[in-house]
Amino acid sequence: MAKATRSQLLLVMGLLTIALMAPPLVLGMSGQFGLASVFVYGGIIGISAIFYDLRLALILSVVAGVAGTICTLVNPYPLAGAAFFGILTGACALTSRRGIHSPVLMVPIFASFLLVAPPAVPPLSAIPAGCVAGAVLALGGLWGTAITRVLLGHRLPSVDRKKLGPRAATAYGVIMGVILGVAAWAVLSYAKFHEGAWLLLTLVILLQPSPHDTFAKSLQRMAGTLAGALIAFILILVNVEETFALVIGGFLIFGALALRYVLKRPYWEYVTVLTPAVILLSATGADRMRVAEDRVAFTLIATAVALLVALGVKAFLVRRAPSTEST
């Protein structure tokens, strides 16, 4: 089968975005905006994973659903939430040994929203609502996997896998588990509102296996977030209605996916487009301005933490490096 051209991939990506956003639009129009966002989160997990492997996408969709349900149940308990989220993130980071940590870490990235602020599902109480949210997250992943497979078939863009050795993967997993566990405890204790999840997901994204990659991604993430927040502020001032905001968010997600997987543009450009999309999909009405402001604030905090960790790891590696004698 001939390889798809860039134009064909962009067309398919547009169809993919339309298909991805159809169920959330139905949920939004029925008043379940929280579940609409959760479905999109699951869809992004499935779409990201299938570029690596179909089986991986199916597994991660189910794992995300289970993890999301547990996250909602431990939300009232900071220590339990911190322990679970730390273990979840650390275990996902260990998959760096196989070079699949980028899609696998999407699970804690989006599960963080359910951990910090489980979506309300009227008229259900907290525990049934959490189970429903986890199921919707899994269904979103399976839906994203299915529509990507149907639309792209075997013409999926290839993604390079960067595998780590056993010791490096273990160190990466331990560092991620400890830092995200502590961060989850802090958020659940002092910032238990939706925007607190930005601290967790940004740390997961920025803490890369190597200090150099952490530095580079942190700077690009910060630049993209600031630029994207400016776009979001403009859209918020227009005060678009909730259902229309879902539509705009869908278009922006298409742009982000196209930049990331088809056009292969720099990471900061992807973040610039994704930032207003997630803000529009994560909040309604007057809350959007607060969400945008908090996303910027927590991104800056997470960036500072990631850079400090990278400096610490680099200093440790330099100290352990064998000294060389001059001749």
126 φψ region: left (φ > 0), alpha (ψ -120 to 50), beta (else) = alpha
Under the banding of pLDDT at 50, 70 and 90, the label for residue 157 is low
Contact 140, 27 (CB under 8 A): no
Write the secondary structure of 155-221 as one string of H (helix), E (strand) and C (coil): CCCCCCCCCCCHHHHHHHHHHHHHHHHHHHHHHHHHCCCHHHHHHHHHHHHHCCCCHHHHHHHHHHH
Q: Which residues of 113-144 are buried (b: 16+ CB within 10 A; e: fewer)?
A: bbbbbbbebeeeeeeebbbbbbbbbbbbbbbb
Residue 148 lies in a domain: yes
Tokens, residue 229:
């927040």
Tokens, residue 309:
């960790």
Contact 78, 72 (CB under 8 A): no
Residue 174 lies in a domain: yes
User: What is the reported pTM?
Assistant: 0.84
Give the whole-angstrom CA distance, residue 265 versus residue 90.
29
Give the whole-angstrom CA distance, residue 278 versus residue 224.
13
Residue 138 confidence (pLDDT): 97
Give the whole-angstrom CA distance, residue 206 versus residue 209.
10
Distance of CA 106 to the CA centre of its chain: 5
Residue 181 lies in a domain: yes
Q: Which residues have CB under 8 Å from 214's CB, separation 6+?
A: 206, 207, 208, 306, 307, 309, 310
Residue 139 lies in a domain: yes
Under the banding of pLDDT at 50, 70 and 90, the label for residue 174 is very high
Give the whole-angstrom CA distance, residue 284 versus residue 287.
6
Residue 54 lies in a domain: yes
Q: CA torsion angle for 80, 86, 88, 91 (degrees, to 10)?
A: -140
User: At residue 228, does pLDDT exceed 80?
Assistant: yes
Q: Which of 23-32, 120-129, 254-263, 286-295 has the lowest mean pLDDT?
A: 286-295
**What tens digit of pLDDT does each residue of 123-145 get?**
888 899 999 999 999 999 999 99
Give the whole-angstrom CA distance, residue 90 versus residue 64.
15
The whole-chain average pLDDT of the chain stands at 85
Domain ranges, residue 143: 6-320
Residue 295 lies in a domain: yes
Give the whole-angstrom CA distance, residue 22 versus residue 38.
13
Mean pLDDT of 191-212: 83
Residue 197 confidence (pLDDT): 86
Beta-sheet strands, E only, within 29-175: none
Give the whole-angstrom CA distance, residue 108 versus residue 104.
8
Residue 213 lies in a domain: yes
Peptide bond into 123 cis (omega under 30): yes
Work out how many domains the chain is built from and give that number: 1
Angle between helices 166-190 and 106-116 (to 10 degrees): 20
Residue 326 lies in a domain: no
- What stretches of 30-53 show up as alpha helix (H) in DSSP? 33-50
Rounded to whole angstroms, what are the CA distances from 61 to 19, 75, 110, 227? 17, 21, 12, 31
